[in-house]
Every structure is written in C-alpha cells, then in structure tokens.
Amino acid sequence: HDYSQRRFFWSRISMPQRLSLGFLTVITVGALLLMLPISYVGGRDHTFMDALFTATSAASVTGLTVVDTATHWTTFGQTIIMILIEIGALGFMSFSVLLFTATRRQMDLRSKMMVQEVYNLQSLYDTRAVFGYVIKLSIAIQFIGTILLAPFFIHDFGWGRGAFYAIFHAISAFGNSGFSILPKNTAEYVNQPFVLAIIAALVIAGSLGFLVWRDVLLYQKTHRLTLHSKLALVMTGALIIGGWLLFELTERNLAFASGLSPVMRVFDTLFMSISYRTAGFTQFDVGGLGSATILLTMMLMYIGGTPGSTAGGIKTTTLGVLILQTHAALRGKKDVTFAHRRLTQENIMRALLLVCVSLVFLGILSFMLMLTQSHAANHGLEYVIFEVVSAFATAGLTLGLTPHLTTFGQLVIMLAMFIGRVGIYTVMFSILNVHDEAAPYRYPEESVIIG
Amino acid sequence: HDYSQRRFFWSRISMPQRLSLGFLTVITVGALLLMLPISYVGGRDHTFMDALFTATSAASVTGLTVVDTATHWTTFGQTIIMILIEIGALGFMSFSVLLFTATRRQMDLRSKMMVQEVYNLQSLYDTRAVFGYVIKLSIAIQFIGTILLAPFFIHDFGWGRGAFYAIFHAISAFGNSGFSILPKNTAEYVNQPFVLAIIAALVIAGSLGFLVWRDVLLYQKTHRLTLHSKLALVMTGALIIGGWLLFELTERNLAFASGLSPVMRVFDTLFMSISYRTAGFTQFDVGGLGSATILLTMMLMYIGGTPGSTAGGIKTTTLGVLILQTHAALRGKKDVTFAHRRLTQENIMRALLLVCVSLVFLGILSFMLMLTQSHAANHGLEYVIFEVVSAFATAGLTLGLTPHLTTFGQLVIMLAMFIGRVGIYTVMFSILNVHDEAAPYRYPEESVIIG
Ligand SMILES: [K+]
Ligand SMILES: [K+]
C-alpha cells in the first residue's frame, strides 16, 4: 500500500522530471549546507550565490569556482563539496536507475533516449545488480587512488591534512571534477610524475564509464566487448594520443615549460591531454597558453568523455559515430559499420542531432554572456566562449571570466553546468513533458536542397 | 564522332572532378589576366599570389582581399574581377548543368549529392531550359540594378566612372560577392538609404537562388511552391528580421552609429542583417563592433544563403531542416514535417552531417592558421576564426587578418573559399573519386550510447 502510493506519486512525474528535480534537490541541499557558518572561513564575504554556484559546480563535477576552494572553505565545507562530487559522479545516475526499477513501466522513446543519456541499460532486468556493481567498483578504484596518493600528500602536508587531501583528490579525480584543495591546484606537482600519473589514471578510469569497465572486467568470462565499449576505448585512446601530439605541436615554443626538463615536459603535455578534455586539473594558467592550444582545449572539452561516466561533453562515442558516418558517406557506402557491426540509423541521427543542438545551445549562452558581461578590452571572444564550453562539458578549465561574472552571468554558467550534467535532452523533456505521438496520418515525402 | 569522343573524354573524369577542375581553370586564367601589366596600377608591389588570391576571391564571390580593389587595380583589372564574379555567380553552376546533360548517364548517389549541392535538378529533363532561364533572369535583375544605381554613382563620380561603378556594383551585389571599388566600400553611402536599399535588394535576389525565383515567378501559372522554396523563403525572412532585431540589441549602445539619425541607424542595422550573412558589403569597420555583434555575424555568415544561389554557408534550408528535426525530436514525433510534407530521412541526415563536417573543417583550418600566423597580442581567437568562417561561407567580411597573411595563410584561406563555393562534398568526392558500393553482405545492427 505504501509502495503502491509511492508508485502513484512517481507515475505523475515523468522520468526526465524526476532526474532534473532530484539533481536540483541535491544542489539546493548542498548550497544550504555550504551556507552554514562552519562551512566557510570566518570573516569572509560569503553570499548564497557563492554557495549555490559551488554546489552546482561540485554536483555537476565541473570544477568552475567563484571562490577559491582551498582557502574559502573550512575542512567541513570541503567535505560537503567532496560529498557533492561523489553524489554527482555516482549517486545521481544510480538514483535514476533505482527510480526506473521502482516504476518498471514500459519505456517510451523519450525515456529511452533519456536513460541512454545517463546510463547504459541495454538489458533493464539486472538494474539493481548494475547499481551495486557501479558503487562497489567506484569505491574500490577511489580507495586504491587514495592509498597511492596518501604518501605524497602526507609527506608534504602531515598526517591529518595529507590523508584528507588524498581522499579528496582521489574522489575529485575519479569524478573528473577538477576540484582541488591544494593551494595551487596541481601546479606544485608539475615536476612530480607519480602524483600526476595517479591523478591521470583516476581521471581515465572515471571518464571511461561503468559499462566499459564492466565489459573489460568481464572479458575473461564473456570473450566479447560490446560495440559501445570498443568504440569508446578506440576513441579515448585516439583522443589522448592525438591531443598529446597536438599539444606538443601547439606548445612547441616551450613558453609554458620554463624550468621543466624535456622528459617532464612531454609528461606534462600528456597530463594536459588526459585532464583538459574531461577533468580540468591543470598545472598551468590556461590563459597563458597559446591561441592554438586554447582552441584545441575547447575542442577537446566539447568532445569530453564516454557516456555513463563521470565526464561530460558530447561524448567520445558521438564523435566516433560522426567520423564513421562521414567516412561512409564519402566512400559512397549506405551502411555505417564498425568492428563488424552496422550502426542503426536512429543512433547516427541522434549523434548528429546532439552535435547540432549542443552547438546552438552554446552559441545562445555565449551570446547572452557577451551582451551582459563587462568585457575587458584585451580579451577576445574566447574569454566568454571558453567558459561556456567548459561549463557545458563539465570540464572546469577557465580563462578567468568565472570569478568576475555578474549574478546573471553566474546563473547562465550554472545553467550550462546543470544541462551539461543532466543531459540536454533530459532537461528539454523535463520542461516540455511530451509523450510519443502516434501520428493519425502521414504527409507525403518531399526533399529540400541541402548545402 | 566528335561528339562521342568528347563523351568518352568526359566519362573518364567524374562529375565532381569536372566541377572542381573547371573552377580551378577559371581561377587560373583569371589570375594570369590579373598579372598583365594593364591590370594593375603601375609602380605597385604586385605578386602572383596577390593575383591568384584576388581571382579565387572573385570567382568564389567571397570578397576577401589582400590588396585594395579600388586603388590596386586599373579599370581593366576591375573588369576582369567583375567578369570572374559573374562567372562564379552564374557560369560555374550552369557549366556543371550543361556538362551533366552532355553525358546523360544515370546519376549515382554521389553525383546526386553533388549536383544537389550546386543546382536544383529535381527534373533533369529540362536542364537546357533551366540554364537559359537562369542566365536571362540574372541578367535582367542585374540590368535593373544597374539602371537604379547609375543616377547616384553618375552624380558622385561623373558619367564614365559612374556608369562603370553602377555595372560593377549591380553584378557584385547580385553575385553576393561583397567586392566594391568605391574608395571606402559602401561606407560613403551610410546615410543614403536608396543606394543601400538597391544593393540590399540585389543581395536578397541573388541569395534566394534560381529555383526559388522560378517557383515564385511561375506561381501564377502553377499555384504551388516546392517545399524547398517555402522553407527557403521562410528561413530567409526569419534570418533577415531576426538578425535585424539582434543587431539592434547588440549595438544598442550606439557606439557604431555616431552621427546617424535614429531612422538611418535602424535602416543601417537592417542593411547589416541582409548584407553580412551572404554578401559582405559593410558600411562600418567590423572590428569596431561589439563582441556580441561579431559572434552574431559569424553565426549568420556560417548559415549563409539558399542552395543554388550566389551565396555560401551551410544554407538556409539546412538550418531549417535542423530546426524542424530538433522540434520533432523534442515533441516525440518520428516524422519531420513542414508545410504538409514529410522530409526524407536521407535529406535530414545530409543536413546534420553537413553541419558537423563543415565545423570540423573550420576547426582544422583555424587551428592551422593559429599555429602559423603571427598573432597580435591584442587580438582574440576570433581574429582567425572570423576570417576562416567568412572565407568558407564566401561572405567576405574581415576583422583585418587577411592582408597580413603569410603565403601559407593565403593558401589556407583560398582553400576555404574554393571549398566554400564548390561544396565540401564535391571537393572531397573529387579527391577520393569513389563510386557507390553495393555491399556484398551486411553486418548485424548494434547501437552505441550517444551523449
Ligand atoms: K571537470
Ligand atoms: K561575399
């Protein structure tokens, strides 16, 4: 009876609305907790917008900040931020999976698109098993990360702070959040390959997504990978290596690498390639890098990680499908194939549409900020566009605009982070709340000329 | 016998190759003519790259220039440029239509995509009639434009130069080329509504494309418009009015309009909305406009005009299909409909793919320029990106980079103009020269997760 009442309540609210509302609730509770006097360092100028922005950035694992995470917040406040990151990385998706099992009704097309956006649910029957698996695997990886990071941080900051730093950065790195409570982000470890390597490994682990992990770990038993995992792994590898080589090229003049040995420089460029695309940890001031580097970084952030992971962006698989479709069209092939499988038309259409819609969205948000934010004369358009792309892709790098945003500007960036994490379709479906329509009749076909 | 030999020769070269080679030939001949001593003003520093760049810009109706058109060239040189514009606007497309009728073989998918790119050929049987129609209509419009412009230019510059200016600008405006031989582009007519109105009308006429014109003029007889014409007209109207209102908004601080009456200011904003998207005539220094205006201009240039017209960009119909598809997806509708017609899946796929491929292309070209061009410290990334978008969309506005390009940079911008005019698919098919493949077997279907 209690159960059926709950079911009735949930059935009144659509799946996309549940997800958006649940996420909003997490952010609001987080912001209220960050308003507590024990959360921030006394004597500071502290507004509710600061707390709300930080909670949104943490729960969406973006990493853009209007106040300095290391000095503005107390250990209690930093713990709240850490928990918001963990909820954003794992809880939010699992929550939606659980909600789905509770209702168990047939999914319509809309819900299918939306659930695909947050989680792989090819077989919906083992949802609870998947949920348990996600939590266990994530905590295991984060635990290993903490143990590996601890010696370095304890050496530098003592037992108490060192241990806390290790936990915080393991969670932050696996969650691809980019939040750091080190005084200078990861800049002080620019010459410490081990710390950078551990963080990079955690970032990759988080950005691959649970389905890929499950596939890889079960490979011994199943001897097969899904098409999704194959494409995601190939694209992730190509993006890391391609980004690495291109960063080597764009920063070949060594302007950023003064004081670095040649080996460490190559290692730092690799770290940039891994971290900039999804996590947003940086050893350098991004604004000091060359214009080609900034353009490349924007492109990598826009692409982002793999679906069902802690990373944002349009996703590696979307880019993969786009490349495969282009290749097929240029070769005069009707079938778009990869690894002896044919991609569905619906799949391809969805990928292409996502690119187009997200770009229109980014264009509109950038336009709104350019109209309203005071614009230093020595900054180009990228000063605004970079920040919007970074927020939408939940990457979290900045050219410096975010701390100077007006309240309206903060709301725009928060909207970008929110939509970037929840998914552009999910948010739109939440607002529109429409259902699949069976058309009473179909119009005759006709083409227009394209391009 | 002569005819069959010609047929044999042409059948060895694919349609896309014929188009690209034909266009290359026009550009080369134009560049050689512009190298003649009677083409340029004596005592000038004049290189083959200047001539080649100008010929490419004219034949692709772009309007970007490395030398000042008004002062660098003699009347003979300006006449060559005018003829190149006319060939680019009309001849190039008609040439391809004629070539097509000469071979009369069944088109494969590749050729269909390519021919659609340059001309509407829904019914291929009346090609010669269409060709004649195109030429007659264009010359009639240009003639009316010349007659209307002549009084103003003759009044200001005397009979000889005035008449030449009228012919040049009628051709240049109808061709959406943006070339001007007035000492200050159209800046001296910033307070002359009639001259601006005539140029704007010619620009719109050229950017609508021949099919739309034919549809509209034959409406009395047929009492129907094609889906293509309906969508093109709706989108063109929406873009002109939307651009106008947004330019009013972005330039509300009046920084650009000192000395203009309120009415002329509104009129000049309307002229911006009409001209910036496709033609590139400007009364102002674009670099002096606000950052929101520059972003908006880039977006409008990228969209461009209607297929089969003298304008470039991804085209109004492509944007229309994208909007319709997004609307349908968000409404949970499987059919994408407009004006009681259902768009084909192939049509939608082509539109979405064109957007994605063109953006990747723009990104790569911008990246190449950022790596190689010396970059003034007070310029943002838009200094390069604006120029690349302007060249690809054959719009021709500039933030000032083009005259400072290195030879490599000039080659990149020339490539963008060439591909922008010929069509991205046509150029790619020319290089790859592949044929439709009948797959011997099909792989099983599988999906990946998107977004
Ligand atoms: K991040
Ligand atoms: K133009």
Run of H or E residues at B427:
helix B424-432
Contact between residue B361 and residue B419 where contact means Cβ atoms under 8 Å apart: yes
Read out DSSP for B326-378?
A: HHHHHTT-SS-EETTEEEPHHHHHHHHHHHHHHHHHHHHHHHHHHHHS---TT
User: What's chain B's average pLDDT?
Assistant: 82
- Please state the rounded mean pLDDT for residues A402-431: 88
Per-residue buried b or exposed e for B349-370, using 16+ beta carbons within 10 Å of the residue's own CB: bbbbbbbbbbbbbbbebbbbbb
- Closest residue on chain A to B253 (Cα): A371
Report the pLDDT value the prediction gives residue B418, as an integer from 0 to 100: 93
**C-beta atoms of B371 and A249 within 8 A:** yes
CA of residue B51 to ligand 2 center, whole Å: 18
Report the pLDDT value the prediction gives residue B446, as an integer from 0 to 100: 67
Q: Looking at this predicted complex, what is its ipTM?
A: 0.85
Q: Which ligand is nearest to the CA of B57?
A: 2
What tokens were used for B348? 């939608």
Residue A163 has pLDDT above 90, yes or no: yes
- Please state the rounded mean pLDDT for residues A324-330: 85
Closest by Cβ to B332, choosing from A109, A211, A446: A109
- Please state the rounded mean pLDDT for residues A154-161: 90
Report the pLDDT value the prediction gives residue A254, as an integer from 0 to 100: 60
User: What's chain A's average pLDDT?
Assistant: 82
In a domain? residue B447: no
Residue with the two structure tokens 């014929």: B18
Phi, psi of B308 (to 5 degrees): 75, 15
In a domain? residue B365: yes
Counting residues of chain A whose pLDDT is more than 90, the rounded percentage is: 41
**C-beta atoms of B334 and A448 within 8 A:** no
Report the pLDDT value the prediction gives residue B167, as an integer from 0 to 100: 95
Report DSSP state, residue A89.
I
Closest by Cβ to A250, choosing from B371, B424, B445: B371
Closest by Cβ to A450, choosing from B116, B250, B442: B116
Q: Which residues of B touch A349 (CB under 8 A)?
A: 325, 345, 348-349, 352
**C-beta atoms of A370 and B448 within 8 A:** no
Q: Which residues of A touch B387 (CB under 8 A)?
A: none
- Closest residue on chain B to A230 (Cα): B448
- Cβ atoms within 10 Å of B248's Cβ, excluding its own: 15
Q: Which residues of A touch B447 (CB under 8 A)?
A: 227-228, 343-344, 346-347
Q: Which residues of A touch B345 (CB under 8 A)?
A: 345, 349
Closest C-alpha among B337, B445, B28 to residue A440: B337
Per-residue buried b or exposed e for A83-106, using 16+ beta carbons within 10 Å of the residue's own CB: bbbbbbbbbbbbbbbeebeeeeee
- Closest residue on chain B to A109 (Cα): B332
Distance CA B252, CA B266 (A): 10
- Please state the rounded mean pLDDT for residues A297-309: 90
Report the pLDDT value the prediction gives residue B103, as an integer from 0 to 100: 41
CA distances to B14, B121, B213 from B98, rounded to whole Å, are 14, 12, 20
In a domain? residue B449: no
Q: Which ligand is nearest to the CA of A395?
A: 1
- Cβ atoms within 10 Å of A61's Cβ, excluding its own: 33
Closest C-alpha among A297, A389, A381, A302 to residue B297: A381
Residue A95 has pLDDT above 60, yes or no: no
Residue A257 has pLDDT above 70, yes or no: no
Phi, psi of B185 (to 5 degrees): 50, -135
Report the pLDDT value the prediction gives residue A92, as an integer from 0 to 100: 58
Report the pLDDT value the prediction gives residue B25, as an integer from 0 to 100: 92
CA of residue A114 to ligand 1 center, whole Å: 22
Residue A259 has pLDDT above 80, yes or no: no
In a domain? residue B450: no
Distance CA B216, CA B213 (A): 5
Counting residues of chain B whose pLDDT is more than 70, the rounded percentage is: 80
pLDDT band at A433 (very low <50, low <70, confident <90, very high): low
Q: Which residues of A touch B227 (CB under 8 A)?
A: 446-448
Most confident of A99-113, A320-334, A388-402: A388-402
Q: Which ligand is nearest to the CA of B85?
A: 2
Question: Strand order in A445-446's β-sheet?
Answer: A445-446, B341-343, B337-338
Closest by Cβ to A332, choosing from B120, B292, B437: B437
pLDDT tens digits, one per residue of B301-345: 999 998 878 888 999 999 999 999 888 887 778 788 888 888 888
Distance CA A196, CA A149 (A): 10
pLDDT tens digits, one per residue of A189-205: 777 889 999 999 999 99
Report the pLDDT value the prediction gives residue A346, as an integer from 0 to 100: 78
Amino acid at B385: I
Distance from CA of A94 to the nearest CA of B (A): 17
pLDDT band at B298 (very low <50, low <70, confident <90, very high): very high
Higher pLDDT, B241 or B213: B241
- Please tell me the total count of domains within chain A: 1
Phi, psi of A186 (to 5 degrees): -95, 10
Q: Which ligand is nearest to the CA of A390?
A: 1
Q: At what angle do helices B48-59 and B15-34 cross, to 10 degrees?
A: 130
The protein residues having their C-beta less than 5 angstroms from ligand 1 (an ion) are A 63, 178, 280, 396
In a domain? residue A137: yes
Report the pLDDT value the prediction gives residue A102, as an integer from 0 to 100: 42
**C-beta atoms of A382 and B382 within 8 A:** yes
pLDDT band at B74 (very low <50, low <70, confident <90, very high): very high
Q: Which residues of B touch A120 (CB under 8 A)?
A: 449
Counting residues of chain B whose pLDDT is more than 90, the rounded percentage is: 41
Distance from CA of B408 to the nearest CA of A (A): 16
- Please state the rounded mean pLDDT for residues B187-216: 84
- Closest residue on chain A to B232 (Cα): A448
Q: Which residues of A touch B443 (CB under 8 A)?
A: 335, 337, 340-342
Residue with the two structure tokens 């990106």: B385
Residue A207 has pLDDT above 50, yes or no: yes
**C-beta atoms of B380 and A375 within 8 A:** no
* Residues in CB range of A318: below 8 A, 6 or more apart: A303, A351, A354, A355, B450, B451
Residue A255 has pLDDT above 80, yes or no: no
Amino acid at A223: H
Higher pLDDT, B278 or A285: B278
Closest C-alpha among B199, B272, B205, B197 to residue B232: B205
**C-beta atoms of B295 and A367 within 8 A:** yes
Distance CA A268, CA A288 (A): 15
Distance CA B193, CA B275 (A): 14
Report the pLDDT value the prediction gives residue A219, as an integer from 0 to 100: 81
Report the pLDDT value the prediction gives residue A112, as an integer from 0 to 100: 53
pLDDT band at A143 (very low <50, low <70, confident <90, very high): very high
**C-beta atoms of B437 and A378 within 8 A:** no
**C-beta atoms of B330 and A428 within 8 A:** yes
pLDDT tens digits, one per residue of B372-412: 887 655 578 888 999 999 999 999 999 989 999 999 999 99
**C-beta atoms of B315 and A381 within 8 A:** no
Report the pLDDT value the prediction gives residue B423, as an integer from 0 to 100: 82
In a domain? residue A450: no
CA of residue A174 to ligand 2 center, whole Å: 49
Report the pLDDT value the prediction gives residue B297, as an integer from 0 to 100: 95
**C-beta atoms of A449 and B228 within 8 A:** yes
Residue A396 has pLDDT above 80, yes or no: yes
pLDDT tens digits, one per residue of B333-371: 878 888 888 888 878 888 888 888 899 999 999 999 998
**Please, what sign has the CA dihedral across residues B141, B142, B147, B151?**
positive
Contact between residue A225 and residue A216 where contact means Cβ atoms under 8 Å apart: yes
- Closest residue on chain A to B348 (Cα): A349
- Number of inter-chain CB pairs under 8 A, A vs B: 262
Per-residue buried b or exposed e for A404-418, using 16+ beta carbons within 10 Å of the residue's own CB: ebeeebbbbbbbbbb
- Closest residue on chain A to B450 (Cα): A318
Residue ranges making up the domain that contains A292: 2-432
Residue B5 sits at the vertex; the CA angle it makes with B119 and B105, to the nearest 5 degrees, is 35
Could you tell me where the beta strands, DSSP code E, fall in A167-273?
183-186
**C-beta atoms of B367 and A295 within 8 A:** yes
Distance from CA of A41 to the nearest CA of B (A): 37
Report the pLDDT value the prediction gives residue A185, as an integer from 0 to 100: 66
**C-beta atoms of A447 and B331 within 8 A:** no
In a domain? residue A316: yes
Q: At what angle do helices A345-372 and B291-303 cross, to 10 degrees?
A: 150
Residue with the two structure tokens 């020319």: B430
Distance from CA of A351 to the nearest CA of B (A): 6
Residue A394 has pLDDT above 50, yes or no: yes
- Closest residue on chain B to A250 (Cα): B371
pLDDT tens digits, one per residue of B81-103: 999 999 888 865 565 445 444 44
CA of residue B208 to ligand 2 center, whole Å: 14
Report the pLDDT value the prediction gives residue A110, as an integer from 0 to 100: 52
- Cβ atoms within 10 Å of A451's Cβ, excluding its own: 25
pLDDT tens digits, one per residue of A28-45: 999 999 999 999 997 778
- Closest residue on chain A to B294 (Cα): A381
**C-beta atoms of A120 and B449 within 8 A:** yes
Residue B107 has pLDDT above 50, yes or no: no
Question: What is the number of helices (H) and of strands (E) in chain B?
Answer: 20, 4
* Residues in CB range of B407: below 8 A, 6 or more apart: B49
Distance CA B191, CA A271 (A): 56
Alpha helices in A262-310 (DSSP H): 262-278, 291-303
Residue B143 has pLDDT above 80, yes or no: yes
Q: Which residues of B touch A439 (CB under 8 A)?
A: 333-335
Distance CA A51, CA A410 (A): 12
- Closest residue on chain A to B247 (Cα): A371
Report the pLDDT value the prediction gives residue B258, as an integer from 0 to 100: 66
- Closest residue on chain B to A368 (Cα): B292
**C-beta atoms of B449 and A333 within 8 A:** no
Report the pLDDT value the prediction gives residue A96, as an integer from 0 to 100: 45
- Please state the rounded mean pLDDT for residues A408-427: 89
Report the pLDDT value the prediction gives residue A133, as an integer from 0 to 100: 75
In terms of Cβ atoms closer than 10 Å to its own Cβ (0-12, 13-18, 19+), residue A25 is: exposed
Distance from CA of A129 to the nearest CA of B (A): 20
Q: Which ligand is nearest to the CA of A282?
A: 1
